Amino acid sequence: MVDLLDEYIPTIKGSEINDDPFCPISHFGIQLKEEKGDDLPIEWLHRNDRFYEKLATPDVTVADLIGDIDPIKAASLKLNYADERVIHYGMIPRANRCIFVINEIPDLQARIQVALFNILQEGDIQIRGFKMRLPLDVNFVFTANPEDYTNRGSIVTPLKDRIGSQILTHYPKSIEIAKNITQQEIISEAKNENVHVPETAKNLLEQIVFEARNSEYIDTNSGVSARMSITMYENLIAAAELRMLESGSERTAVRMSDFSAIVPAITGKVELVYEGEQLGPENVAHLLIGAAVKSQFDALFRPIKKLKKQDVTDEFDAIVDWFLRDQDFELSPNMKDEEYAKQLDSVKPLEEALKKFINTTDIQERLFLKELMLHGLVEYKQLKKTERTTGTTFFDEVLGSFLNN
């Protein structure tokens, strides 16, 4: 918002409330202008300094926001308490000609909200019963979560009536917008140049959030935190960095195995309904990851039909047949990139299937897509996988069921 303001504005030098040299409103500014005339000293205020913010907490007082009488100033200047010069200005008068934001406005006590009425409407303030005309030029912005999200307070109706516009925000409506927000908000440490994040991995991560918003196990009234994708991304990078440290590699790329590190980021950002609590937060998190894998599989390749002709085989059948013949396939999270690539490239049908659907020369992107394809086949119950301390093992669903029995 500050980028929409003029880069610099003139203010009277020494003014506590950013008095306009052409039209001062404080006693100090008016008096100094009368004394100095065209020699009035001015300062230039940059737009980055024209933003004030206050979090509404129960301990906020009228004195904090509007101001209070300073008895020491009154005594030293030998002035009456009704004199404007004995006032110690609060945050709002000091934000004159600026943007002033109150975060979580419902948390502000009702009596404090009432104190904002006149400032928003008439431009006058009352301090300790003394009324003072102070036509402040402040652009107020209030933020609030939906009332059913916090249940901690509400905006009093007369204050709502004085707010010019109510803007209801919404979740990102596309994966691309969601990715832009995540990249904008992640901490700088998560932007590690030595960790390559395939574009498909970014899409999958955002798809998990989309699946969470439609999940029957998650309370839709509380919703899904907008910070979930940000924390998941940071955890994803951390998992890749840990592998770099353990394997002694200088560079690496995000893999499907790294997504196990995002489970704590999911469980801490959602509120579950009764069925979800019964299932368990971690199980719900794994279900969301699985649903996202299936959605991305369908978008990148194609859905797998449940019923098909017995004599017809396709590229995915070839992958399943490979695992029927070769049962010694494991992906360890601590593998160096060369070993990881060699292991995935050993499944020749994966390469053939990938060529049919996607044409990309990015080696790391291709490797991630291959691993995603395996996890997608698991979601479609064409393959089975087991998680062990050494890594993830994939094998044929039919043989796996036989061995389990």
Q: Based on C-alpha coordinates, what's the Rg of the chain?
A: 31
Residue 203: phi and psi, rounded to 5, are -65, -40
- Residue 79 is predicted with a pLDDT of 75
Given a cut of 70, whether residue 135 has pLDDT beyond it is yes
CATH number, domain 175-300: 1.10.8.80
Q: To the nearest 10°, the Cα dihedral for 237, 240, 244, 247?
A: 160
213/120: higher pLDDT: 213
Confidence band for 77, pLDDT divided at 50, 70 and 90: confident
In this prediction, residues 51-73 reach a mean pLDDT of 86
> Which tokens go with 68?
């209070």
> What is the predicted pLDDT for the residue at 232?
94
**Greater model confidence, 72 or 33:** 33
The architecture (CATH level 2) of 51-162 comes to 3-Layer(aba) Sandwich (3.40)
Question: For 376-394, what is each residue's pLDDT tens digit?
Answer: 999 999 888 888 888 888 8
User: What pTM does this model have?
Assistant: 0.77
Q: What 3-state class would DSSP assign to 141?
A: strand
- Reported as a single tens digit per residue, the pLDDT across 179-225 is 999 999 998 888 888 999 999 999 999 999 999 999 999 988 777 88
Separation between Cα atoms, residue 292 and residue 89, nearest integer Å: 53
Model pLDDT, residue 392: 87
Domain range summary for the chain, segments of one domain joined by +: 51-162, 175-300, 315-404
Q: Which CATH architecture has domain 315-404?
A: Orthogonal Bundle (1.10)
Cβ neighbours around 42 below 10 Å, total: 14
Question: What's the whole-number mean pLDDT along residues 15-43?
Answer: 92
Residue 173: CB atoms within 10 A of its CB come to 9
What pLDDT score was predicted for residue 27? Answer: 86
Burial state string for 43-75 with b = 16 or more CB within 10 A and e = fewer than 16: eebebeebbbebebeeebebeebbbbbbeeebe
Calpha distance 64→250 (Å, rounded):
52
Q: CB–CB of 396/324 below 8 Å?
A: yes
By the 8 A CB rule, do 178 and 232 touch?
no
